[in-house]
Every structure is written in C-alpha cells, then in structure tokens.
Amino acid sequence: MTHFAKIEDNLVVNVIVAEQDYIDNHAEGTWLQTSYNTHGGIHYGQDGEPDGGAAIRKNFAGLGSIYDPVADAFCGPQVFPSWKLDADTYLWEPPVAYPDDGKNYRWDEDTTSWVEIEI
C-alpha cells in the first residue's frame, strides 16, 4: 500500500493509503504519491537513518501542505513570515540558525530571533 495526497489548487486536502489501481480507476481528482519516509529530499529507513531509497516529492504531504508543481515537491505551510523556503529541501528555514547549546528555544518573529524557554 502507498500513501497518496489529493491536490486541489496546489493544496493537500486529503491523504490516504491505497493501491495504485484504486487511484487509477476509482479516485476522483488529482492524487499524487507521497512517502512518510521522505523528509527534506532524503529517504529514511525504519531506523531513522538515510537509506538511499527514492525520496518522493521532497517531503511527506500532510493536510494543508502545499504542492509546487514546477518542483514536483511538497512543503508545509510557511511557519513565519521571515522564514524562507529552502529550494533543495523544501523545508522552511529561519533567518537565524537554531542555537546548538542544548537549551530549548522558541522563535520570536517580532525580533526574528530565538528566545530561550525557561523551564
């Protein structure tokens, strides 16, 4: 069985698991294959490590995802106005990298910076 995303106006409105035959003969509208093992243009195995498999349409399509027909790729909705879409991974990237110091942060769009979460 394979995952398929229904596309309307370049927006994912449904995701189902089905056989290709069902999509070809019974499903109405535009349905595109998607893979939950694909993230950022890389295919991952069950161990969570890249396995060299075929990365299908850059990312798994979830409800509300956007489909870019020119790139034949799925991406999530834009996270924040300041974040830019990476053309290679089709993931939204902040203008400032997430700090790599082991602490927890949240994005503050007003200051376009990461703010530490005090626990």
pLDDT tens digits for range 53-86:
999 999 999 999 999 999 999 999 999 999 999 9
| CA-to-CA separations, 57 to 20, 22, 38, 91, in angstroms, rounded | 17, 21, 8, 12
pLDDT tens digits for range 13-29:
999 999 999 999 999 99
Q: What's the predicted TM-score (pTM) here? A: 0.90
* CA dihedral sign of residues 88, 91, 96, 99: negative
1 band by pLDDT with thresholds 50, 70 and 90: confident
Residue 119 has pLDDT above 90, yes or no: no
Under a CB-based contact definition with an 8 Å cutoff, are residues 94 and 111 in contact?
no
100 band by pLDDT with thresholds 50, 70 and 90: very high
- The dihedral region occupied by 3, where left means phi > 0, alpha psi between -120 and 50, and beta the remainder, is beta
